[in-house]
Structure formats: C-alpha cells, structure tokens
Structure 1
Amino acid sequence: FEMQREMTFSGRIAEYNAEVVLPSGETTNKNVIRIGGFNAVADGKYLNWDLEASRLVELDKQPGGRYTGPVSELESASGTQLTGFWVDPSRGQLLKIMGQSPELGDRVDQGGVVGYIILVLGAIGVLLAVWRMIVLYSEGNKIKSQMKSETPNENNALGRVMAVFNANKNADTETLELHLGEAIAAEIPRLTRAIGWIKIISVVAPLLGLLGTVTGMIDVFETMSLFGTGDPKLMAGGISQALVTTVLGLVAAIPCVFLHTLTNNRSRELMMILEERATGILARQAEQQHSKAA
C-alpha cells in the first residue's frame, strides 16, 4: 500500500512555500513547485534536496537555457494547462552534471587570448565584406543607370571612363586605347579595395586556431608530466580547451572565405563591364576613323 501511495504521489505536482538555501549561503522563503519526487523549482531555477541538512538548496550553476526555459512556463501555467518539462529521474544528479558542462561563453573563454583575437579578426572580416558588398552593389546600380545614358556621370566608374573618351575623342585609336586602359586601371583599386584583407583573414584565422591548439596541447603534456595520467578528466579537459581555438578559427574562416568569393566575383563583374564598354568604344572609334579615311 505504501509503495502504491508513493507511486501515486510521484505523479503529482505540488506548490508550497519553503525555505531555500541560496548559493551565497543565505536562506530565504520561496514559492516552490515540486514535480513528483524528481524535481523542485523556484523563481525559474532548479533546486536540490540536501539529505544531510533536510533542506532545499538552489543549484550553484543552473543548466542551459534549453532546460531552464520550461521552468518559467511551468510556474506561469494554471489549472489543467499542459506544459513540457524536463524530469530528472536521478533526483538532482543529472542536473549537477549538466550545470558543470560549459556553455557557449565558457567555451569562448577557454580559447584564451588567441580565441578572442580570432573572434575579433572574424568580426573585422565580416564587417569589411558587408561594407564592400554594399559599396559594390551601389556602384553596380550606378553603372547600370550609366549604361542607359550617353551623357557621362562621374559618380560611377563607367561614367568616368566615358568622360575620358569624351576628352580624347579626336585622338587616334592607339592613343585612345592607352587613355581608356589608364582610366580602367585607376578604377580597379576602388573596386577591389579591402577585398584582399578579407582573404588574408580567412587564411590567418585557422592558422591562429592551430597555434592555440598546439600551445594548449603543450600545456596538457606538461600537466601530464607533473601529475601523471591517472586522472582522465584532467587530460580530457585540457585537450578540450586546446581544441576550442581550432573551432573558433574555422568559425571565423568559413564565412570569410564565402564572403571573399562573393565580393571578389562582384568586383570582377564590374571590371568586365568596364572593359567590355571600353572595347566597344574603341571599336566604334576605329570604324569611324576607317570610314573617314575611305
């Protein structure tokens, strides 16, 4: 009968006031929700039952937001409303283990100085790529508008090339070709500005990650030489920290490679338009001179 009654109560959700020991050591009265004999929560945080002190204790480190989110939903539920909730059948042991697993911020901190340098470089590369894409697409729209007009507008690359043609319209074909080539060469640095830096960042970031991994592995082997290999957790933790920089390097390099390809292809498209228009201008100029000579 007692076993049956315990099984029945293990499926009930109870709400009551109880004293809770905070991680700071203070004791406060909170509204506690108990889910059977598995979990107890209060103020969106998981609690654990201390057998020795016979008191509820708030976990020093809560598990990730994926697990603490349903706690708030459970506390705000009313009546027969159903809500999902994570149940710990080990009565607190799994929650403690999950609380010890590092989160995203902890992983980044494990990368150390090298990891932060990689993230800064990755952010710079992405910002440069976004800036260049905006500039190049704006320049492309101006060039498309210029292609529909015979009047050169010097707010775009094609307009400046056409202005050079108008200034040297009476020159011979060879001289005009040199002037147009010079005008296109002057536009190339404007179209390819900062694209090379994106490529450099995409190459340097994984190398920095490898550097951080190698230095981290050196620390692991030094620890093994001092304390031996009797504690696998010590070695696993050190190796995990060493590999974080490699992950950060790849995270920074992959988007930079992709964005470098986009910006480089866009700048090449614009340069091809300039060369194509310049070739057309030269062809028309040569035909006009040939017809005059005939």
Structure 2
Amino acid sequence: MQYYLDKGGIIMYVLFAMAIVGTIIIIWKIASISLFKFRTRNIDLPSDRAELRAASLVAPLERGLTTLKIVSTISPLLGLLGTVLGIFMAFEGIMVHGLGDPTQFAKGISTALITTVGGLVVAIPAYVFYNYFIGELDKTEQLLTQKIAGIYEAS
C-alpha cells in the first residue's frame, strides 16, 4: 500500500484520505439506516400530513450523503489530474534525459496509471453506495408515509 501511495504522490494521499472518509460514511449509513428501519417497524403516529411526517423522520438519515457524492465525483477527477501530471513527468523525463533512459519515461507513466486506478477504486464504491442509499431512503420514506397514513398492512 505504501508503495502505491509513494508512487502516486500527493494525489494518492488525497485519494487515500477520501477513501477513508467514504468508507466511514458507508459504514455509518448502513448502520443508521438499518437501525432506523428496525426502530420504525411498528411506528404509530397521527396520520395527518403523513408525507411531511415521513420526510421529517427520514431527513436526518440524508446527512453525509452529500459528502459521499462529492467523494464519488471528485475521485476520478483527481485520478485524471494524476494521469496528466504523470504524463507530464514522463515527457519531462524524455526532455531532460532523452530517449536513452526509459526509466524516466516509465516513472511518469507509472504515476499516471497508479493515480488513475486509485481514483476509480475510490469513486466506484462511493458512487454505488450513494445510489443504493438514496434508493433505500426513498423506499423507507414511501413505506413510512404509507404506515403513518394507515395504508400499509403489516404482513
């Protein structure tokens, strides 16, 4: 792991920090949504304005999702930035050392590829879980609305 962080430079360290933040949010949301569903299994609230009540109950669960969306959006862009910087380093190596020393060229290409992969590895799970959580919260809000309104029949 340290090897890839060092090879990718500062961009890989930023991506690693974003991966940690994203992972913490994913674990937090899995736990909080599961706990919320468990607590609201047998909810009994007045049925007036059921949609507003359900929305107000679900709203706190949306905290953190914007950060997860930012992680999933920014990570590939950081990977792309690393790609551009790596290619720049590769051509800089050719300019300074000529084509006689392929290690200089390879170093830049290595940085480019590592940061590209790093950006995608961080972004893909964050994006998948963000969309999953949005869907779960929408379903939960709809189910709560039905329960509060008395439409839902427990099976």
Q: Give the TM-score category using the shorter length.
A: 0.7 to 0.9
CA distance in 2, matches of 1:193, 1:202: 16
Q: Specify the alignment match of 2:89 in structure 1.
A: 219
CA distance in 2, matches of 1:137, 1:185: 17
Question: What letter is aligned with 1:209?
Answer: G
Alignment length (residue pairs)? 151
Give yes or no for the alignment of 1:115 onto 2:12.
yes
Deviation at 1:112, TM superposition (A): 0.8
Q: TM-score, normalised by structure 2?
A: 0.86
Give yes or no for the alignment of 1:196 onto 2:66.
yes
CA distance in 1, matches of 2:92, 2:29: 46
Deviation at 1:118, TM superposition (A): 0.6
CA distance in 2, matches of 1:186, 1:137: 17
SS at 1:269's partner residue?
Answer: helix
Q: TM-score, normalised by structure 1?
A: 0.48
Deviation at 1:119, TM superposition (A): 0.8
CA distance in 2, matches of 1:241, 1:196: 29
Q: Which runs of 5+ in 1 are unaligned?
A: 1-103, 153-161, 166-175, 282-294
CA distance in 1, matches of 2:133, 2:52: 23
Higher helix share: 2
CA distance in 2, matches of 1:124, 1:244: 20
Question: Where does 1:18-167 land on structure 2 (aligned, <5 Å)?
Answer: 104-144=1-41, 146-147=42-43, 152=44, 162=45, 164-165=46-47
Q: Which runs of 5+ in 2 are unaligned?
A: none
Give 1:273's match in structure 2, choosing from 143, 146, 149: 143
Question: What letter is aligned with 1:131?
Answer: W
Higher strand share: 1
CA distance in 1, matches of 2:143, 2:52: 16
CA distance in 1, matches of 2:124, 2:55: 31
CA distance in 2, matches of 1:272, 1:138: 17
Give 2:133's match in structure 1, choosing from 257, 263, 270: 263
- Is the CA contact 1:217–1:239 (under 8 Å) kept in the aligned structure 2? yes
CA distance in 2, matches of 1:143, 1:181: 15
SS at 2:40's partner residue?
Answer: helix
CA distance in 1, matches of 2:142, 2:22: 25
Give yes or no for the alignment of 1:250 onto 2:147.
no
CA distance in 2, matches of 1:191, 1:239: 42
Deviation at 1:246, TM superposition (A): 0.8
CA distance in 2, matches of 1:219, 1:234: 8
SS at 1:230's partner residue?
Answer: coil
Question: Where does 1:224-239 land on structure 2 (aligned, <5 Å)?
Answer: 224-239=94-109
SS at 2:132's partner residue?
Answer: helix
- Aligned-residue sequence identity (percent) comes to 30
- Is the CA contact 1:111–1:241 (under 8 Å) kept in the aligned structure 2? yes
Flag the structure with larger Rg: 1
- Is the CA contact 1:126–1:259 (under 8 Å) kept in the aligned structure 2? no
CA distance in 1, matches of 2:64, 2:106: 41
Q: Specify the alignment match of 1:209 in structure 2.
A: 79
Deviation at 1:184, TM superposition (A): 2.6
